[in-house]
Amino acid sequence: MTVDCKICGIRDPEALRAAVQGRARWVGFVFFPRSPRSLTPEQAAVLSAEAAGRVERVGLFVDPDDALLDATLGRVDLDMLQLHGSETPRRVAEIRARWGLPVMKAIKIARAEDLAVVPDYAEVVDCILFDAKAPKEMVDALPGGNALSFDWRLLAGRSWPKPWMLSGGLNPENLTEAVNLTGADAVDVSSGVEVRPGVKDPARIAAFLSAAGEL
Ligand X SMILES: O=C(O)c1ccccc1N[C@@H]1O[C@H](COP(=O)(O)O)[C@@H](O)[C@H]1O
Active-site amino acid positions: 8, 131
For the chain, the farthest-separated pair of C-alpha atoms sits apart, in whole angstroms, at 43
- E strand or H helix at 42, and its extent? helix 41-51
User: What DSSP character marks residue 135?
Assistant: P
String of contacts with ligand X for each residue 193-212, x by CB under 6 A:
--------------------
Which stretch in 15-23, 45-53, 107-115, 140-148 sits in contact with ligand X by CB under 6 A?
Answer: 140-148
- For every residue of 99-157, DSSP letters joined together read H---EEEEEEESSGGGGGGHHHHHTT-SEEEEEEPPPTT-TT--SS-S-----GGGGTT
Binding string to ligand X for residues 49 to 78, with x set by CB under 6 A, is what?
A: -----------x-x----------------
Q: How far is the CB of 132 from ligand X (least distance, A)?
A: 7
Q: Cα torsion for 43, 47, 48, 49, to the nearest 10°?
A: 110
Residue 73 or 193: the one with the smaller Cβ distance to ligand X is: 193
DSSP labels for 149-181?
---GGGGTT---SS-EEE-SS--TTTHHHHHHH
129, 103 contact by CB (below 8 A): no
**Beta carbon of residue 77, minimum distance to ligand X (angstroms, whole number):** 19
Backbone Cα Rg of the chain: 16
**Which one of 19, 48, 188, 208 is in contact with ligand X (CB under 6 A)?**
188
Its sign, for the CA torsion 109, 95, 186, 116, is positive
Nearest to ligand X of 35, 48 (CB atom): 35
Residues 141-170 close enough to bind ligand X by CB under 6 A: 142-148, 167-170
Q: Is 22 in the site for ligand X (CB under 6 A)?
A: no
In the range 70-129, which residues lie near ligand X by CB under 6 A? 84, 129
Please report how close the Cβ of residue 90 comes to ligand X at its closest, in angstroms. 21
134 touches ligand X (CB under 6 A): no
Binding site for ligand X (CB under 6 A): 8-9, 28, 30, 32, 35, 37, 60, 62, 84, 129, 131, 142-148, 167-170, 188-192
